């Protein structure tokens, strides 16, 4: 992963993307521990929790999202605008389900994750996907190693969001791309009410039927509620060495894609 000429990628169209505006902070509080992490997201708790869900992670995801997860992953790949031969890092790759989707572009996609259980599950089901152990806060790669970096449904689980965004910038070449795919805030107030009710009541109940560690899905619901909305996350990305930050809502804002370009002068 050595030197290579910087290429500037332009995202000429803003159609469907909103430029960054405003600031609003998320609320993070401590909750009791069980077979789940608390909202202060200690790395050993987070890793143990994902070890516990690994066996049925892919299936549970698809059930709980009504199959939308596949659409969200395809949209993430499209937003990265990968080309054959590009090097892309998928941080918090888990079982490699998100990494595998990226490889469909012809790019060389490698995944890194904190949970050995998730990585082992991925090695069993996707032996062709390169996966390795790595912490989003201390990635095992040299500066500017990648043309693009992405993190799907994992940034919310890292206990220092801003440090993780800076670390993602460190391993991205100047002018390289970032796409964050994460749960967010539905824009329609009526839909938001229905969604929050699903999140806090129905989702844990469904998880009890399908998941290998249902308590983890209580954490999922709580961590989504405590996560910054679209504009707030955009501001944090901008403060961490990224420029031209914009976001796009998927499924009415249940998920948002944030994209940005690595600032040449950052870090």
Binding site for ligand SAM (CB under 6 A): 43, 46-47, 50, 91-94, 97-98, 113-115, 118, 135-137, 152-154, 157-158
Q: How far is the CB of 8 from ligand SAM (least distance, A)?
A: 27
Q: Using an 8 Å Cβ cutoff, are 95 and 118 in contact?
A: yes
Would you state the structure tokens that stand for residue 213, as one six-digit string? 């560690």
Nearest to 101 by CA among 62, 75, 68: 75
Q: How far is the CB of 148 from ligand SAM (least distance, A)?
A: 15
Which one, 135 or 263, has the nearer CB to ligand SAM? 135
Helices (H), 12-160: 43-53, 57-64, 68-80, 97-103, 116-125
Which one, 20 or 36, has the nearer CB to ligand SAM? 36
Provide φ and ψ at 237, rounded to 5°. Answer: -65, -45
Cα Rg for the chain, rounded, in angstroms?
17
Q: How far is the CB of 131 from ligand SAM (least distance, A)?
A: 10
Q: What count of other Cβ atoms lies within 10 Å of the Cβ of residue 73?
A: 21
Whole-angstrom distance, CA of residue 220 vs CA of residue 153: 10
State how far the alpha carbon of 108 is from the alpha carbons of 30, 41, 84, 99, 219, in Å: 39, 30, 8, 10, 33
Which one, 20 or 80, has the nearer CB to ligand SAM? 80
Helix axes 161-170, 230-239, angle to 10 degrees: 50
Which one, 98 or 105, has the nearer CB to ligand SAM? 98
Q: How far is the CB of 43 from ligand SAM (least distance, A)?
A: 6
Which one, 102 or 144, has the nearer CB to ligand SAM? 102
The owner of tokens 């516990």 is: 52
Which one, 43 or 175, has the nearer CB to ligand SAM? 43
Q: How far is the CB of 21 from ligand SAM (least distance, A)?
A: 27
Q: How far is the CB of 167 from ligand SAM (least distance, A)?
A: 9
């Amino acid at each position: 992963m050595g030197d290579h000429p910087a290429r500037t990628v332009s995202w000429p169209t803003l159609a469907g993307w909103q430029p960054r505006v405003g600031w609003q902070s998320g609320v993070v509080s401590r909750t009791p521990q069980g077979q789940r992490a608390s909202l202060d997201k200690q790395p050993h708790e987070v890793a143990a929790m994902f070890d516990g869900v690994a066996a049925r992670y892919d299936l549970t995801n698809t059930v709980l999202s009504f199959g939308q997860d596949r659409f969200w992953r395809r949209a993430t790949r499209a937003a990265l605008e990968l080309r054959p031969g590009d090097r892309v890092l998928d941080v918090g790759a888990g079982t490699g389900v998100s990494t595998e989707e990226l490889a469909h572009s012809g790019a060389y996609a490698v995944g890194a994750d904190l949970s050995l259980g998730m990585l082992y599950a991925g090695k069993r089901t996707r032996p062709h996907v390169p996966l390795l152990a790595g912490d989003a806060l201390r990635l095992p790669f040299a500066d500017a190693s990648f043309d693009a970096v992405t993190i799907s449904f994992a940034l919310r689980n890292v206990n220092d969001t801003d440090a993780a965004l800076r670390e993602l910038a460190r391993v991205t070449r100047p002018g390289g791309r970032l796409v964050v795919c994460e749960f967010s805030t539905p824009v329609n107030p009526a839909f938001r009410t229905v969604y929050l009710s699903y999140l806090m009541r129905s989702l844990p109940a469904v998880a009890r039927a399908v998941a290998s560690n249902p308590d983890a899905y209580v954490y999922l619901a709580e961590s989504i509620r405590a996560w910054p909305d679209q504009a707030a996350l955009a501001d944090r990305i901008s403060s961490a060495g990224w420029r031209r930050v914009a976001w796009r809502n998927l499924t009415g804002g249940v998920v948002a894609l944030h994209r940005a370009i690595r600032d040449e002068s950052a870090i």
